[in-house]
Amino acid sequence: MLFLLIFAVLVVLYYLYIKPFWYWESRNVPYQNPVPLFGNMFKPIFKKEQLISIVQNIYTKCPDSPYFGFINFITPILIIKDPELIKKITVKDFDVFSRHRAFASEDMDPLWSKNLFAIQDFHKWRHLRATLSPAFTASKLRMMFDLMQECAKNFVNYYLQKTEDVIELDVKDACRRFATDVIATTAFGVTCDSLKNQDNKFYLMGKDVTNFEGIRALKIFVYNSCPKLIELLRLSIFGPQVTNFFTKVVSDTVRLREEQNIIRPDMIHLLMEARKGKLKKDKSNDLEVDSFAAVNESEIVQKEVGGSTQITDEEMTAQALIFFFGGFDTSSSLMSFTFAELAVNPDIQKKLYDEINEVSERTGGKITYDDIHRMKYLDMVTSESLRKWTQGVFLDREAVKPYTIPRDNGQPPLKIEKGDLVWIPAYSIHRDPKYFPEPEKFDPERFSYERKNEIKPFTYLPFGAGPRNCIGSRFALLESKIAIFNIILNFEVVPTGKVTIPLKLDSHKISPTT
């Protein structure tokens, strides 16, 4: 009996932790030798090296291959390099790769699983995306512009009131506080003033939601190494504190507005309209000049969708949460990386200041949505910042049915089975000298009118690609540009002695952080 038990354990260990490491070898796909149990995640999980760097090293070691293999703990992942193959997977064959990998089922974590990013069912996703997409059109963003600009004015005035000639600050923390104020007012109708009220609930909740250290890191480790255990233990991404906070904020705000017939130009109002099925897409595009980095809705979403487009209160709260999640961390990271690059590239900062100052003088300081969007150099700077320091470092897709990738040299096609995962390494592609010469150089001129057409399609992916791209790209860009405009107009950004030049990623963080 003991022998049978030992044999059974060895068989289980073999299939779970040994066999996966032969996966890419048997398929003749380039890969890097993994570590048992951890796969290629050993160094990142113990904070020895950024995951981005691990992938980057494998990427550069197979320059002629359109893809390479990766082992995420015990899960094999195909990482796609070739732009044409990326186009096929994200656009042409979207019906095969129509969703992201699920972390939790609806009954385990409804607030996470029902947001637009995580939702699995294609028809539910399409209905929800079509319902929400009108909230991010130019006319709706115009409604929110004054709210964002007010936050920026308060942000700048806080520092202008200081008596010091030189103000030293943690730019990441400062940008997070600005992002908190913007998200709180434009999404929830709440004024925070996070610089004066340092420990307001929205800021603390933002730090909690975006913190993937400690217990949340352990949950991710368990999920990746033994996903069935997550289901057995019924673990959720966010604890009850986060769930209860956002549920209460949304429900209280909705109830107050319905009782008092309050209409405010923010995301809660738009979600309330969507819940009633009254949010309609603009018939005309009133955006004359768009950002290079912004992504458009696909034809799949733009087509008329039959059936009801109403969303439930729980779905509305789920969207508010993911909107807060994205706005708090990714937008603040875009701002902080941009300020960091401007600090170490004073010539670029001077050129940007000249454009900003000209617009400010021409408008008497009363800038509008259109003024921001017509600023070409500001857009070039933010586009380059997103190129060099993209926050969506990997785009993930899960196959919902079998798929084959043809191969040259008489090799049999590479087969992808239902449930297999693919990653698209946006960070590495953005730093590939084949697509972006001198990739480590911060060069906004890449996105000038004369040169931006040189950028190969599907090699610039700051907000994803295909129908499941980021719905809030224009919101994030507008928020960031308003912050950059007001800061550079009033201050010169310079590096302190604590800044490492050239800028480097912190190996102790999961997401890109200087």
Question: Quick check: is 348 in a domain?
Answer: no
User: Which residues are CB-neighbours of 308 under 8 A, at least 6 positions away?
Assistant: 127, 277
How many whole angstroms separate alpha carbon 372 and alpha carbon 289?
Answer: 10
Question: Quick check: is 504 in a domain?
Answer: no
Q: What is the pLDDT of residue 149?
A: 96
Question: Quick check: is 301 in a domain?
Answer: yes
CATH of the domain at 304: 1.10.630.10
Q: What is the pLDDT of residue 134?
A: 82
Domain count for the chain, please give it.
Answer: 1
The DSSP 8-state label assigned to residue 464 in this structure reads -
226 is in an annotated binding site: no
Question: Quick check: is 355 in a domain?
Answer: no
Question: Quick check: is 214 in a domain?
Answer: yes
Question: Quick check: is 277 in a domain?
Answer: yes
The string of DSSP letters for 275-337 reads HTT-----SS---SS--SS--PPPHHHHS---S-----HHHHHHHHHHHHHHHHHHHHHHHHH
Range of the domain at 108: 97-331+363-378+464-479
- Lookup: tokens for 471: 């719905």
Per-residue pLDDT of the chain (514 residues; tens, 9 = 90+): 667 677 676 666 666 666 666 889 889 999 988 887 788 888 888 878 888 999 999 999 999 899 999 998 888 999 999 999 999 999 999 999 999 987 766 667 777 788 888 888 898 899 888 888 888 888 888 988 999 999 999 999 999 998 788 888 899 999 999 999 999 888 888 888 999 999 998 898 888 877 766 666 666 666 665 666 666 666 676 777 888 888 888 888 888 888 888 888 777 887 888 777 776 666 545 444 578 999 888 877 766 555 555 677 888 888 888 888 877 888 899 999 999 999 999 999 999 999 999 999 999 999 999 999 999 999 999 999 999 999 889 999 999 999 999 998 778 999 999 999 999 999 999 999 999 999 999 999 999 999 989 999 999 999 999 999 999 999 999 999 999 999 999 999 998 876 677 767 665 555 554 4
Q: For strands 421-424 and 75-80, give the pairing.
A: parallel
Q: What is the pLDDT of residue 216?
A: 64
Question: Quick check: is 507 in a domain?
Answer: no
Question: Quick check: is 237 in a domain?
Answer: yes
Q: What is the pLDDT of residue 374?
A: 93
Helix (H) or strand (E) segment spanning residue 10: helix 2-13
How many whole angstroms separate alpha carbon 56 and alpha carbon 476?
Answer: 26
Question: What is the residue whose two structure tokens read 């070691």?
Answer: 61
As a whole number of Å, the end-to-end CA separation of the chain is 56
User: Which residues are CB-neighbours of 336 under 8 A, at least 6 positions away?
Assistant: 171, 172, 174, 175, 514
The string of DSSP letters for 78-144 reads EEE--HHHHHIIIIITTTTS-BPPPSS-TTT-HHHHTSTTT---HHHHHHHHHHHGGGGSHHHHHHH
How many whole angstroms separate alpha carbon 359 and alpha carbon 10?
Answer: 70
- Lookup: tokens for 204: 């603390």
